[in-house]
Structure 1
Amino acid sequence: MTGPVSGRVSFCVTCKNRLWQLRETLPENLARVEADGNAEIVLLNYNSGDGLDAWVRTYRKFVDRGLLRYLHERSEPHFHMSKAKNLAHFGATGEFLVNLDADNFIGDTVPLWRAQWARRYDTLIHGFIPETDRGRVGARDGLPAEGNGTSGRIGLPRRHFMAMGGYDEAMLPMSQQDVDLVDRARAYGLDVVRVPQSGRASICNSFEDKLRDTGLTLTWQEMRSRNLQRRRENLALGRLTVNADRSPKEVLLNFTERLTL
């Protein structure tokens, strides 16, 4: 394949009580999507209680133009990373699906990622901030340093994401979901490459921010330990496709249309 791929790119964002971050990231990210010309932001409101729905309505013109695809899950009391990310990805329309946490900026990555998929279509791209990743003790395969806000920047062709069942919903609400997807994708046969991003890429979060809406009393370390065991089991058992018994969820699409994902 020569030249950058032209397929639609969907940036999949989940949000539960992170409006304070979206106020900063979404306007800039919409500008990046608009400049690309064939991309969208898929924003999943995961039953957020901070006025997110009313705020998104002020962006209705972007919804009408197809730049913003808005999904609203209205029943879940607590946040679960894998379940939320899957809803956002399953509700996207693009040929390429990119996870973009609510605290992340797209920056100048779109043409870089398109060029990478042109070189090798069957690739999972793992983005990162190079400055904060430098010199980490115990780095594995150059994965992003924990806590730098970039571990979730993952993009791959839609057909491969769907074939693997997405993020593993059997995991606890936080930690290891992203690297588990990377591990399974590599074992599945995809190339895994890292593409650095210049400039500011994320807003800093505390562990308290991450755990606040999970509904569990487990610490970050406890969740990480249990999910790490699940991640190792997935590889050891050759469980590259997950969520075989997943039940579909209903969301509201663009304020009015009921959609089951």
Structure 2
Amino acid sequence: MLRFLDKYVDRSDFEYCEMDTDSAYMALAGPDFDSVIKPEMQEAYQHGLQGYCKPGLEIEADCLHHWFPRTCLSQHSKFDKRTPGLFKIEYEGDAMISLCSKTYIVAKKVTKITSNTVLTAASLLRRAKTLKPKRLQPKRRTYNETKFSSKGISKKTVTAPLTIFKQVLKTKRPGSGFNKGLRARNNTIYTYTQQRCGFSYFYCKRKVLADGRTTVPLDLILRPGREKCEDVTETQVSGDFSKNWDLEDENNVNILNALLEESL
């Protein structure tokens, strides 16, 4: 994905929000993905989407021309969505909160208008109740549609996910949820309810900066004691030490590691 973004999208037009094994959520400086493609790369980008429209032609992800499913024909689009390696747009929203690994939410405002089917059903219901005839008008309703992930907590028991994520982000305190289910024990079925603090604010994989949004790699020493063995000389290990060398001594092990790396 980074190879495509560096080639087709300017780095000032996107920012990563969440990444998993096979998915990546990012904020774009435009209404959709096509609008942030570099002007000089628009022709190559559109050619990959519509330039291979041949009957029976099957494409593969090659990191050169084929990045997304083709949009030329409906049958090609449906077929390419099942092709491994191609990027598929999973969800689009207006706002996103990423608390920690596998704990995020994407929200967008959706306006829904009452359908004619609902109006007809309401009119028939009033007639069945012998109510006074009334001309029903369609209503507009705006609400937040969300897509979220809460590892360790059943999504069915979360009633207001956007409110929970906002509260955790504001208070910096973990939020809790419930898990409900069935469990077999001694030939008997039991129900259980478990409360768990699954909406954690703490993120341990990267260092979160003061703005609460930008992250940098952790400044950790993965090999403690390495700085002690950088000045190792041959005089420290000269002679035949195979008999009296204590391999349980951490200092001796560090010296051997340093000599092995120098020889390689």
TM-score interval, smaller chain: under 0.3
More helix by share: 1
- Report the TM-score when normalising by structure 1: 0.22
- Larger RCO, structure (CA 8 Å, separation 6 or more): 1
